[in-house]
Structure 1
């Protein structure tokens, strides 16, 4: 099963038909518990159970349930995607166990899709939420975050607290697996963006050490529009890891449908646009390029097709 997705709101929905939650800056995960075993599945269907051993105890909570939620890494109480990025790609149980003690994650369970073998996706959100709260899922590694009636108040509060934003949900809405539905609407604060890498430039004074990546966003026609050069955040191991992943993706020409400025293109190694990363910026300038972008981490939970799907929604 794929998770239900939220559409972008053009304003916080008002009225009693809606309820509102904090939008967590993390990794979307379905937690499937059955016969004493736990399987954690990313949005793309990848099994990430090994990456988060501190969540293994969910397997002992109930005999059968399927939860939808977000895995977050909290830094002084605020979710940090860059901190989470260190955990998302780990496939070694030993390394994952070490990271779980150094930088633990929390699973924010916000929906219940199956309980004791009964599919709940056709039930309204309000009924699923009532059952979820009755389960009393609370520990140091997982919790059921609260919901709020006052969406505009929550929107302002999350802005003040430096959180990502809010998600508003229609109380009567069923769960639509794999669909981006207007019954769920997200209102983000932070200027973070998922982009594809289409090329890289070497660090100054070197020929093969990655110093910056050239990134793009969907152009609305199935291609990629150049969005700028990102160098901040790529020092040390972050740049070295990206370099290894990009090496087999090399190609002869730019993958972008618009022209890359000469100052960015000179010395660039072009790559197939297959790797999705998260960046933070001050928005776009008059030329369409990201202003002061900084690299946050690799989005192993997203594919380039996901970015096109969001743009076309």
Structure 2
């Protein structure tokens, strides 16, 4: 179940019928024990359990249980997507174990669609939350707190540098696969997942990646240009992107429109398969991202469509 952006940016609903939670800056995961082993499913359906060995205790949940929550990694006491990005692609057990010691994650749980084989999706949120609070949670797993005053939690998340707030109607059912108006999200910073369509080398002749060209798929299946971005492109992300993009080069632009020379000049075109998380200030009337900052590579979800 997905949340819908609030109709007026920064303005949360009010009244006794709403509950409020922090919008955590991490990766959405369903922890599923309905089969013969623990699965940790991202929004694209891939099993992320091998990447997070410190969450293996979730396998001891009551059989036939599905929890919904967010995996986060802390840096200086605040969830950091950049720190988490180092973890999410790893499948080698030895490397995953080493990273778990160096950059441990937490799983913040906020819903329980299925408990011990009982489908709770038609129950109201308040009842599901009460059921969730009875579930014994293992190490590195905790409940995401719920609040009744949206204005207070909105101010607190801004002061603490958190991503934002999710408002949930207390009577809301759990609606898998839907972006419902019963769950509303308000964010302090706007982010999206974009596809890399090309890269530009640094201007000093080093041959290293200095910027990437990002795009979004539109309703007709074309790749629309969002921006050229270089801020945040350093360290592990730069090394990871270099390896990923070198094997995806192509002779022509993958973008549906012809780009301006300032963007196209010197660009190495690539198949639009690599996903990046990008934070930005606003979008221009033509759809371009203003002040984009790259935060990490993703493989847990699909690209956000142009129309979003």
Q: TM-score, normalised on structure 1? A: 0.89
**Mind listing any 5+ residue stretches in structure 2 that lack a counterpart?**
none
SS of corresponding position for 2:307 = helix
Instruction: Answer yes or no: is 1:124 the counterpart of 2:124.
Output: yes
**Residue 307 of structure 2 aligns with which residue?**
311
Partner of residue 7, structure 1: 4
**Alpha-carbon deviation of 1:279?**
1.6
Answer whether contact 1:5 1:179 (CA < 8 A) is retained: yes
Q: SS at 1:20's partner residue?
A: strand
Q: Which aligned pairs between 1:51-130 and structure 2 lie closer than 5 A? A: 51-130=51-130
**Could you report, residue by residue, the CA deviation over 1:216-249 in whole angstroms, capped at 9, with x for unpaired residues?**
2455654333222111222243223212222343
Contact persistence 1:209–1:240 (CA under 8 A)? no
Whole-angstrom CA distance in 2 between matches of 1:49 and 1:205 = 41
Deviation readout 1:191-232 (Å, 9 max, x if unpaired) = 333222111112224475322101124556543332221112
Cα deviation digits, residues 104-136 of structure 1 (max 9, x gap): 000001000111211111111111111001224
Contact map agreement 2:194 2:278 (CA 8 A) in 1? yes
TM-score normalised according to structure 2 size = 0.91
Q: Which runs of 5+ in 1 are unaligned?
A: none
Cα RMSD (Å) of the superposition? 2.2
| Bigger mean CA deviation after superposition, 211-220 or 141-150 | 211-220
> Any residues of structure 2 matched to 1:1-313 within 5 Å, and which?
4-10=1-7, 11-34=11-34, 37-137=37-137, 139=139, 141-206=140-205, 208-218=207-217, 222-284=221-283, 289-304=288-303, 307-308=304-305, 311=307
Deviations 1:134-164 (A, max 9, x none): 224364x010021111112211211111100
CA contact 1:29–1:43 (8 Å) conserved in 2: yes
| 3-state DSSP of counterpart to 1:55 | helix
Kindly state the Cα deviation for residue 273 of structure 1 after the two structures are TM-superposed: 2.4
Moved over 6 A (4+): none
Cα distance, 1:33 vs structure 2? 2.3
Secondary structure class of the residue paired with 1:311: coil
C-alpha separation between the residues in 2 aligned to 1:155 and 1:223? 37
Structure 2: distance between partners of 1:187 and 1:110: 17
